[in-house]
Amino acid sequence: MTNQPASCPIGHGSQTTIETAKTDWWPKTLNLDILSQFDTKTDPYRSSFNYREELKKLDVEALKKDLHKLMTDSQSWWPADWGHYGGLFVRMAWHSAGTYRTADGRGGGGTGTQRFAPLNSWPDNVNLDKARRLLWPVKKKYGNKVSWADLFILAGNIAYESMGLKVFGFGFGREDVWHPEKDTYWGSEKEWLADSDARYENVDDPSTMENPLAAVQMGLIYVNPEGVNGKPDPLKTAAHIRETFARMAMNDEETVALTAGGHTVGKSHGNGRAENLGPVPEAADLFEQGLGWNNHVSRGIGRDTVSSGIEGAWTTNPTKWDNGYFYQLFTYEWELTKSPAGAWQYQPIGIKEEDKPVDVEDPSIRLMPMMTDADMAMIKDPAYLEISKKFYKDPEYFSDVFARAWFKLTHRDMGPKVRYIGPDVPAEDLIWQDPVKPGKSDYDVAAVKAKIAAAGLSVSDLVATAWDSARTYRASDMRGGANGARIRLEPQRSWVGNEPERLNRVLAVLEPIAKEFGISVADTIVLGGNLGVELAAVAGGRNISVPFSPGRGDATPEQTDGESFAPLEPIHDGYRNWVMKKYTVEPEELMLDRTSLMGLTAPEMTVLAGGMRAINTNHGESKNGVLTDREGALTNDFFVNLTDMVYVWEPRGDNAYVLRNRETGEAKFTATRVDLVFGSNSILRGYSEFYAQDDNQDRFVNDFVAAWTKVMNADRFDLVS
């Protein structure tokens, strides 16, 4: 029983909290909300704001000077360890950028979503809310001229600079979003750092880990710091580290460098009782000011802070960039012990007093350094050991490798270098930036188009090839797309989804044309696709001109890291009505994911699917979903016939349907789930009915051309002012 006064019941008709938004009256359906996230209604800037233009007004040197000052401006409400916030801001930047995953390109620091749930309340992000509040006066001062997303990463750079590292560079250009990403799957786990078995088919085989990386891994605890399933075993931990870092696009050398460089500065906090910590930010009461994990039982700041549960610094001088990490690892033997919070960690045997780091508040007190299971992995795994020895022997080499790996970590989701802004952008082109030199743009487009038209390729060949070249684009990390024409290089040239036999036949025609005019194959492929759309429109009774922007370049094999492109391989494409095999997820859900990654909206998805069916760009020349008697013509027939109640839909095996005349029984068309979802899902049917209207035939063609052009130009960042 409580003595709190009773509350008056009141009826309010809206779902004002998530926990009340039950779906008992909302059957299972497609989550089309992921295609309308970041709507202008959520953006306080509306459509008039141009971040790239605002950045031109930014006094970069003044901002960096203020950030340098912030590093040592210790605040009593959250004091800096040793009077320097460097370790805290490094961790903030790392945990913002380190959520990146190669499988789908989602995550990363490119949108500033560390401000929002679930990231702001992940246990491994404990007390990073304090770092962001410490950063607020700087953000307040510079306002619109610098995004939170850029500021998080820049603060990490400045932290390292202030501690003595020569950073590799920095690129501005990350634009904030204003609510959490709705499309990102963060894993199925309900408990933080529960046994890993549920995330692996076999926990002894790290490659069987759930893909994409889920919340526990993406929360920057790539492995449990106490060991796999909380049991110390450095070799086992090493195997898990290798797998998770690879899924972040890091090789062994980069992995060791990042581990060592991250642990060269700052400390872990476990000098207290974890059970004294209050709720996470999103669960805390209003009086907590939007902060979480607050300790109202004991002191809970300074030397008494609890974050990870691990306690101690890794090096003698945790506010200096030096080779102290490897010095400690190689100088001493290490034994298992437990932190005050009860976490497994390692301590050195027989350490010299002068090699101990000092207390964060009282420099007269020296304390034991520590290492985690992940740190032990750096000298127990044979490959990691050799790299660690090399770094220890050559500190300058270590610093260079780390600086480059840090730059990669913090910029991996930004796309090509043309998107980088500011005075500190490195001149060097890096292979992971997918470099492509600009192609020729001052040529007779009409003459090239005429040459393609006379070459004898079908409309389907032209449109499908252009689509296959462009569809690799991922708005999640701005990779892929038609620029570079990597469809003509391995591994893309052999991807099953690209129909290699047909592709080689088409390229054999288009490549000589490109050579004849001295233009890129990339431009030629897209121009051919545009021509195909125009010819299809003519066949449908409408003369249109598809916008074309010349200037794409052709990537070389040397500019292409084939391995890094492997995750971009399509194993399904609803737009071309193809799935490689049967998956646990339905084809329409796969199409939704593809659409989200391509940055398309639900209306754009609908109009593209309907138009491409009418043109018949299906993989393998399948007739599924070609709901028209005017095949090859850009018409709205797909929608007309899909919504016509003259037809009944009959299942005919897995992912196979027949559209049959209700009266005569005549089988008229065949279809797949991806086709029929546009007539069965209530939201998508609304769009289909819109395009099926007699008065929207011109609208259909115009909308198709606009969506097509968006796909073709998705990676033309050189066209963005």
Residues belonging to the active site: 95
Q: Rounded CA gap, 537 and 532, in Å?
A: 9
**Which residue in the block uniquely carries the two structure tokens 């199925």?**
188
SS3 assignment, position 414:
helix
Q: Rounded CA gap, 416 and 418, in Å?
A: 5
Q: Rounded CA gap, 485 and 567, in Å?
A: 17
Q: Rounded CA gap, 529 and 348, in Å?
A: 65
Q: Name 85's Cβ contacts closer than 8 Å, sequence gap at least 6.
A: 70, 71, 72, 73, 74, 131, 134, 159
Question: In this structure, what are the phi and psi dihedrals at residue 433, rounded to the nearest 5 degrees?
Answer: -85, 5
- The residues pairing with 270 across neighbouring beta strands, listed in sequence order, are 306
The torsion region of residue 309 among left (phi > 0), alpha (psi -120 to 50) and beta comes to left
- The residues pairing with 295 across neighbouring beta strands, listed in sequence order, are 277
Tokens of 693: 């209207």
**Which residue in the block uniquely carries the two structure tokens 């963060």?**
186
Helix (H) or strand (E) holding 578: strand 578-579
- Most distant CA atoms of the chain, gap in Å: 94
Of the candidates 588, 584, 610, 581, the one whose C-alpha atom is nearest the C-alpha of residue 29 is 588
The torsion region of residue 112 among left (phi > 0), alpha (psi -120 to 50) and beta comes to left
* 270 contacts 341 by C-beta, under 8 angstroms: yes
Tokens of 407: 């730059």
Q: Rounded CA gap, 536 and 559, in Å?
A: 35
Helices 673-680 and 587-598, axial angle in degrees (round to 10): 80
Of the candidates 449, 445, 434, 531, the one whose C-alpha atom is nearest the C-alpha of residue 489 is 434
CA atoms within 13 A on the CB side of 592: 21
* 372 contacts 226 by C-beta, under 8 angstroms: yes
Tokens of 15: 């779902």
CA atoms within 13 A on the CB side of 291: 18
Distance of CA 173 to the CA centre of its chain: 15
CA-based torsion, 199, 201, 206, 207: positive or negative: negative
